[in-house]
Structures are given as structure tokens and as C-alpha cells.
Amino acid sequence: MPPARPSPTTASGAASPALSGIRVLELGQLIAAPVAARILADFGADVIKVEPPGSGDPLRTWGAGDGLWWRYQSRGKRLITADLRQQAGRDLVRGLVAHCDVVVENFRTGRLTAWGLGDEALRLVRPDLVIVHVSGYGQTGPYRDRPGFGNIAESMGGLRYITGDPDGPPMRVGVSLGDEIAALHAVIGVLLGLRARPETVDVALTESVFSVLENTLAEYRHLGIVRERTGNTLLNAAPSGVYETADGRWLAIGGNGDSIFRRLCHAIGRDDLGSDPGLADNRGRMARVDALNQVLSEWVGDHTVDEAMAILAVAEVPAGPVYSIADIAADPQFQARDMIVDVDGFSMPGIVPALSSHPGGIGWAGAALGAHNAEVYGQLLGIGRDELAALARKGVI
């Protein structure tokens, strides 16, 4: 088997990235599965992304600018084309599977099986393969055949029901959170699967969202409580919220630890609250959360964000301004941690998490459709340029 193409590291002379030598075939589009594969590529996996010829992944045209999201989403991946609706295209993919450790896909449940690329068929080619399915509802259950996107998962997984103001409609957050959460679970599944291969990993977007709802299920089943929308009020601990400053910005404060609360009260000149026995623990503070939020709103409203931050930093109270992307891009902490990077002239977030001994790296920004056809098909399947040209004329690649 040819060696995996190495990915450059972020530090000169550093050890190889943690996933060097692992090859991943991505049969996905849009967000969840491609995000998972991008994370694997960040840490050195040789990710080969398969797109339909002609149109490519729809994400190429999503978002503002000319493929800016695409440049980030597909960084470090080798991009090839294959029409899975044609037998010749499926044969190419089947050939590539023999050289891969992992397949990540997010087609509708059963689609790959209908194309002759189901789990059993793929393991005939590569017995120790790790196969990761990402779908709306999972590979089993009464909803398995339904199409599902992240916005549906956020809704049915319970996240949107508890997001928003009490008197307003259910709200979405400003990014595709359901897809991103599912992608992280898919990465976890890949790493576990590589440890115990062969393995099949079944990631449902709805379940991924549901899994982050903390103790809402226990509250309902044991106490009969259905959690509702509460805006910026944290239901389980107080005081914790977002408050408007004198200069028209917003400041988040987390004063919801017992000792932190006392330090917060001293910092804002309210030692009377810090020494109040009724506010000594979280239960007491939750009972008076509205009054505490009013006190903080008034204090923060008398200070600029910089003034308030300076006072709270001395008091060792967790606080931070609500940042726009412009604020993030200018912030020295993000810059010092290499979280603002430029790759091939395109700005994008850096790599998370940071590894000390085997750091990841970003080889290149997302490229043109089929940019690596000759390289991948030539290296792994021994297909020459003339044969590739013939496949292209037939619309196979």
C-alpha cells in the first residue's frame, strides 16, 4: 500500500502529526461529515474527498464571497471527482477503499447500500475498515429513511426549544451548531474505531444535539419540569449573564461560584450582598437571581467595557466582552494561540486542540473541483492521464 501523503506541521522540526499514516475517504457534502474529515486532515490524516463531477459539493457556493467557506472546510484535503451514480464511478471508489483506513459518509441512510457500497461490500475490499455514517436520525429506527439537516436536528433534538427569549419563538444560533456537534461525535467515533477496528460508527444529528442538553431529561422524568426559553438567564447557577456597558457594548460575567460571588460583590462595592447568609450558596442566589442581575446591570451600565474588565480582572472574576468576528480577529489572545491563520491567501480559524508533541498542520486551502484527480488516481490506482481523460469525457470523474 502506498504511504499516506504527509501533511506539513505547524512547527519546523516537530514530530509527525498524530494521524499521519491514516487515510480517510470522505463521501460527504455540506457540513457534518466534511467538518469531521477536515478535523482529521488537520491532524495529519490523508483525507481524500470525493465530489460529483460538474457540480461538486454544494458548499462551494454557500456563504459570502467566492468560496470562502469552502477554502476553510476543505483545507488539507485531496479533492477528486467520481460519479457514484455510474458503475464506473463506484468502481473507482471501491478501488480507493482498499487503500483507506476510514470511510466517512453522510448520504441518506441506505443510499450507499443501494449503490453497492454498503458496509459489507466495502469490508470485502478492506476488512479492517472503520465506517462512519452521519445522518439525520441514524441507521436504525422508524425515522431512519427521512432526510435530515442540522436545522431539523437542532429542532427535534430540543436545542431550539430552549433557545430564545421567554416570550419569543424558538431561535437558532448563528452557526450550523447541530452539524458541528455531530462532526465532533464523528471524529470521536473515528478515533475509537481505529482503536478497535473494524468498526461501524453511527452518528445521528438529532442524538448529537440531544446529548448536549445537560440535565433537561432528568428534570422532566424525575421532577416533571419542561425547561423553557429563558433568554440570557442561566437556570442552574447565579449570577451569570450578559450586561450592557456604558459604551454600548456587552459584557459577560460569571459570578456563580460561592467564593467568586463574594469577590464580585467586593469588586462592585456591594459587600453587603457578599456577606448576606441568604446568598452564600447557589440555591439562595437562584432564588434572588432577578435582583442580582439588576444590581449587575446597573453597575456594568456605569462603566465602559474596559473599565469593568479591569476591575473584574483584579478581583479574579470570570468576565469577557461579547465579541464580533472583528473583535476576535484583533484579539491578542487568539493571535498568540495561532487561531487566526492565513493559508494560500485565505484567512481561517486555526487548529483545535493544540497538541504539544504531535501538532497538527494546515497543508493548503480548499482547491478546485477535481484538483487532485491525477495525483490520487495515479498514485493509488495506477490510472494514467489518458485513461483519466477518457473517464472525464464520459462524465465518470
What residues does 26 pair with on adjacent strands? 49, 104
Which amino acid, residue 301? G
Asked if 179 is an active-site residue, the reply is: yes
pLDDT computed for residue 30 by the predictor: 96
Distance (Å, whole) CA 275 – CA 288: 15
Q: Phi-psi category of 185—alpha, beta or left, where left has phi over 0 and alpha has psi -120 to 50?
A: alpha
Which residues in the chain belong to E strands, given as ranges?
A: 23-27, 46-51, 77-81, 102-105, 130-135, 199-204, 240-244, 250-254, 319-321, 340-343, 346-349
Domains in the chain, ordered, with CATH? 23-212+340-393 (3.40.50.10540), 240-244+250-321 (3.30.1540.10)
| Annotated catalytic residue within 179, 302, 331, 338 | 179
Give the Cα separation of 375 and 297 in Å (integer).
60
Query: To 10 degrees, what angle do helices 373-381 and 385-393 make?
Result: 120
* pLDDT tens-digit profile, the chain (397 residues): 333 333 333 444 568 999 999 999 999 899 999 999 999 999 999 999 999 999 999 999 998 888 999 999 999 999 999 999 999 999 999 999 999 999 999 999 999 999 999 999 999 999 999 999 999 999 999 999 999 999 999 999 999 999 999 999 999 999 999 999 999 999 999 999 999 999 999 999 999 999 999 999 999 999 999 999 999 888 788 999 999 999 999 999 999 999 999 999 999 999 999 999 999 999 999 999 999 999 999 999 999 999 999 999 999 999 999 999 999 999 999 999 999 999 999 999 999 999 999 999 999 999 999 999 999 999 999 999 999 999 999 999 9
Tell me, what DSSP letter sits at residue 4? P
Amino acid identity at 10: T
pTM of the model: 0.93
**Which residue do the cell numbers 478546485 mark?**
368
> b or e along 226-239 (b: 16 or more beta carbons within 10 Å of the residue's beta carbon)?
ebebeeebebeebb
Q: Give the integer Cα–Cα distance in Å for 291 and 296.
A: 9
The pLDDT of residue 20: 97
Structure confidence at residue 236 (pLDDT) = 85
Q: What is the pLDDT of residue 243?
A: 97
Give the separation between CA 147 and CA 31, rounded to whole angstroms. 14
